[in-house]
Amino acid sequence: MITVFYDDRCRLCTREIAFYQKLSSPDVLVWAGISSSAKKLAFYQIATVDALMLLHAIDSKGRIHKGVDAFILLWRHLPWFKWLGIVASIPGIYHALGMSYKVFAHYRFARLPHCQLVLRDNKIGKKK
């Protein structure tokens, strides 16, 4: 079983995940919206701010995958996307996807008010 943590308050993210959900088997992939998964995130020691920044997934052995690695894990378990998981793992392509995703993720994170609130609360919590 693979658990995928996604930003369920981001319209773009929820549309993409809804597409994947239609293709996935509930026996393989579990979808966890970040806004209602605080206990699960805490169990895996994933900060909410980090989960909002990059896609996170937990594989069947309890290992954490984030960013492009989470997408590769996800794609390899979706019909019609297995090939993308393989191609995305090729070293040069992997590196380019990783850099591109980080740029996009930071851009998205900086523009969503709920992400900025969590970031602010996280900074305030660290000052205490």
Q: What is the band of 115 on the pLDDT scale with cuts at 50, 70, 90?
A: confident
Q: What is the band of 83 on the pLDDT scale with cuts at 50, 70, 90?
A: very high
Mean pLDDT computed over 31-37: 95
Domain residue ranges in the chain? 2-127
Spatial CA neighbour of 113 closest among 4, 3, 6, 7: 7
Mean pLDDT computed over 18-42: 93
pTM score, two decimals?
0.89
- Predicted confidence at residue 128, as pLDDT, reads 53
Mean pLDDT computed over 56-62: 97
| CA distance linking residue 41 with residue 54, whole number of Å | 13
Q: Is the pLDDT assigned to residue 86 strictly greater than 90?
A: yes
Structural contact between residues 19 and 4, judged by C-beta atoms closer than 8 angstroms: no
